[in-house]
Amino acid sequence: MKLVTAVIKPHKWEDVREALETFGVTGMTVSEVSGYGRQKGHTEVYRGAEYDIALVPKIRIEIVVDDADADDVLGIVVKTAQTGRIGDGKVWVSPVDTVVRVRTGEQDDAAI
């Protein structure tokens, strides 16, 4: 099993979710996060005082998938979240040892 973690632009989240559902992904964990990459933040001015806003809002999606689906899911996220402009985010895949469905106690593949 693999954990696919994607950090994307907030306005692309709905497109990514629809594409993943169409592919057959049944669930995911989504959170609002902040951060910055090479693009850094931006400047805001209030009554003449400049504020460096270092952090940019992003959406983080976490999905646990079968090994066989990992590359497809990765590809779907990259394809749908891509705008080609700076700040599109990152996706990474990491190995998962064990998964348990809390309700039933089912393990691993059965729990995905």
Partner 1 sequence: MDGYYAFMLVATLLVLMMTTPALALFYGGMSRSKSVLNMMMMSFVSMAVVGIVYVLWGWSMGWSGDGTFFADPFELFALKGVATSDYIYVMFQMTFAVITAALISGAIADRVKFSAWLVFLPIWSTLVYFPLAHMVFSCTDAALICSQIGAQDYAGGTAVHINAGMAGLVLAIVVGKRVNWPKDKMRPHNLTLTMLGAALLWVGWYGFNVGSIVFGATFEEDPNAFLEQFYSETGRTFANTTLATMAAILGWLLIERMLHGKATSLGAASGIVAGLVAITPAAGAVDISGALAIGAIAAAACAFAVNLKFKLGFDDSFDVVGVHLVGGIIGTVLIGLFSTSDGAGGVDGLFYGGGLGSLGDQTLGVLMAIAYSGVLTLVIALAIKYTLGWRISEDDEIGGIDLSEHGENAYDLHTGVGGGVKSGVLAGAIGGPKEGIKA
Which of 66, 101, 79, 73 has the alpha carbon at shortest distance from 5?
Answer: 73
Nearer to partner 1, 70 or 81 (CB): 81
Nearer to partner 1, 8 or 73 (CB): 8
Nearer to partner 1, 13 or 73 (CB): 13
What spatial distance separates the first Cα and last Cα of the chain, rounded to whole Å?
9
Residues forming contacts to partner 1 in the complex (CB under 8 A) are: 10-11, 13-14, 17, 21, 30-32, 44-51, 57, 59
Instruction: Give CA separation, 63 vs 40, 41, 55, 56, 86, in Å.
Output: 27, 27, 24, 22, 24
Nearest-approach distance from CB 46 to partner 1, in angstroms: 5
Nearest-approach distance from CB 95 to partner 1, in angstroms: 26
Nearer to partner 1, 3 or 30 (CB): 30
Nearest-approach distance from CB 28 to partner 1, in angstroms: 11
Contacts of 10 (CB under 8 A, 6+ apart): 32, 57, 58, 59
